[in-house]
Chains A and B, each alone.
Chain A
Amino acid sequence: MKVLVAVKRVIDYNAKPRVKPDGSGVDLSNVKMSMNPFDEIAVEEAVALKEAGIASEVVLVSIGTQACQDVLRTGLALGADRAILVQTDIQVQPLGVAKALKAICEREQPSLLILGKQAIDDDACQTGQAVAALLGWPQATFASNVELSADTVVVTREVDGGLETRALSLPSVITTDLRLNTPRYASLPNIMKAKKKPLETLSATELSVDLAPRLKTVSVREPMAREGGVLVADVKALIDKLRLEAKVI
């Protein structure tokens, strides 16, 4: 069976985002960009399914500018077979991405679509659920364990009070949580091989999807900085501060 994985190019998780002085957004010039950490977990899961002989092909898809090719090449170096870039200069939002992914799923007919649970830039946590809804497919968000068979996938999900296990009919959509797996690193030979793997570029027009953003960003600002705190000498001093100054105990 074919597994499709959606990956996003985002600011590296270790980089500190800086808000532009004019309040128009976050400054991404000269900032290290990487594959969204949750998407690395999605790629790892798909590649592991292929290595286990369950998946026959792993296809990556990313939606964005030409620069997204680098995260697709990274995914190919991790073991995916081929990649599709839906190229657009529009600042795509989750609903637009979901529409593009729906079109790709109709073209590619995967049995499983795996995405990260959220992107660490917009923190929206919507795309997987939205594309599942548009396709009428079942979904399992926040997956921490996946067991795939011929026509069913059994997924354990991280929910607020603990864990929940569900069985979904295929095709279905899964979004990954942190504890699903530990992504591998790409080896140098695999990075070289990835350069020769197929990477197809499509335009939004070819897919006939409307990627126009629907939410308008009015402004972006930094959160209020916390006032500098004090160091206390010992436990007794700490208790005094909490009781008499902060009055929280």
Chain B
Amino acid sequence: MAVLVIAEHDNRSLKSATFNTVTAALQMGSDVHVLVAGHQCSGPAKEAAGIVGVSRVLHADGIEHAYAQAENLATQVLERARDYSHIVTAASAVGKSFMPRVAALLDSSQVSDVMAVVASDTFVQPIYAGNALATVQTCDPITVVTIRTTGFDPALTGGQAVIEEIPVVATFALSRFISQQLTRSDRPDLTAASIVVSGGRGMGSADNFKLLENLADNLGGAVGASRAAVDAGFMPNDYQVGQTGKIVAPELYIAVGISGAIQHLAGMKDSKVIVAINKDPDAPIFQVADYGLVADLFEAVPELAEALG
């Protein structure tokens, strides 16, 4: 039986996470279908049809799916779920919200945050804030999985899958969208950026984050933050990197004024190269950093930005 991937998109284009998720899905079965449920989302549906390895795109278009509501998405997925051996999506805020509903209604035990596929029923997942890696095997008839996208390369484009229009089956009236406040940023998406510059409590103020933004812009990177920096109000919560924030694995991660608590390391220690800039030589971040600079960040960061500008 085929594998069904539920695409993540903003109704205009696919999120990069979908490409990584297709790569993971192709390791579970050779026939991969993608469900694009949204509102006026023919753009993402066409994009999904162009992913190499995808043979069919199910396109469900209706106002019910305008804001990726978990109850509606779950209902939509369940309508076709029994035709598939695996149901797969990215472990994003959207995926983490709707997928456990799908799993529960299929009486299936979801495997969360899969970072490697060992066999079609066996997966590696991080537990205890990434301090241990568990290999788990499912015995449920339908395997339900969310994917840690940093564990998989993005799938290639150039394919030509069939697009099948399917009816919207979701009308869950008990939950109603009111509003959203999205953070505007011209920088690359944090979870997909190849360079991430993150700041912690040591930044001292929201204003001082401009130093990091300047450095990130000179490197073409994204800006992240530790929980301490978010709690202090220096940055919005969606910039948080860590166990309970975003998981990133860029080519280069620059941690500035971040001590390196377990919960922060959980979100970035799979980065290829880690740089730490901290004035405390005993900060735990230096134990995972490839290159450490013990220095005052208010001198080092502007100097670094200028040299790379």
Contacts and interface: CB of A to CB of B under 8 A. Distances in A.
A123 B300 contact: no
A132 B181 CA distance: 25
A218 interface: yes
B222 to A, nearest CB: 13
Contacts of A172: 174-175
Given A229-B286, A238-B293, A121 B178 contact: no
A139 B122 CA distance: 30
Nearest to B304: A235
Contact of B288 (A14, A93, A121, A226): A226
Interface in B14-73: 67, 70-71
Given A139-B70, A161-B238, A26 B175 contact: no
Given A160-B93, A163-B181, A178-B244, A129 B70 contact: yes
B130 interface: yes
A140 B101 CA distance: 12
Given A123-B243, A214-B139, A230-B291, A165 B180 contact: yes
Given A142-B93, A249-B308, A166 B251 contact: no
A12 to B, nearest CB: 11
Nearest to B218: A249
Interface stretch (A75-83, A192-200, A240-248): A240-248
Given A17-B131, A118-B244, A229-B290, A248 B100 contact: no
Interface in B216-275: 219, 227, 230-231, 236-238, 243-244, 246, 251-252, 262-263, 269, 272-275
Interface stretch (B79-87, B108-116, B159-167, B198-206): B108-116
Interface string A175-219: 001110000000000000000000000000000000001111111
Contacts of B231: 178-179
A55 B210 CA distance: 44
Interface string A140-167: 1110100000000010001111111111
Given A122-B127, A123-B243, A248-B251, A133 B74 contact: yes
A120 interface: yes
Interface size class of A (residues with CB under 8 A): 35 or more
A88 to B, nearest CB: 16
Given A129-B104, A160-B238, A235-B304, A165 B179 contact: yes
Interface string B138-170: 111000000000000000000000000000000
20 contacts: A94-B110, A125-B91, A128-B100, A129-B104, A133-B102, A138-B172, A138-B174, A139-B101, A139-B175, A142-B97, A164-B180, A165-B178, A177-B237, A177-B244, A213-B109, A214-B108, A215-B138, A220-B127, A220-B133, A238-B275
Given A123-B243, A163-B180, 10 more contacts: A14-B262, A95-B110, A138-B172, A142-B93, A164-B177, A166-B175, A229-B288, A231-B293, A242-B273, A246-B273
Interface of A: 11, 13-14, 16-17, 19, 26, 38, 93-95, 98, 117-118, 120-134, 137-142, 144, 154, 158-169, 172, 177-179, 213-223, 226-227, 229-232, 234-236, 238-239, 241-242, 246, 248-249
Nearest first, the 6 A-B pairs at minimum CB distance are A129-B100, A130-B104, A133-B101, A126-B100, A214-B109, A138-B175
Interface of B: 67, 70-71, 74, 91-94, 96-105, 107-113, 122, 125-140, 172-183, 191, 195, 219, 227, 230-231, 236-238, 243-244, 246, 251-252, 262-263, 269, 272-275, 281, 286, 288-295, 300, 303-304, 307-308
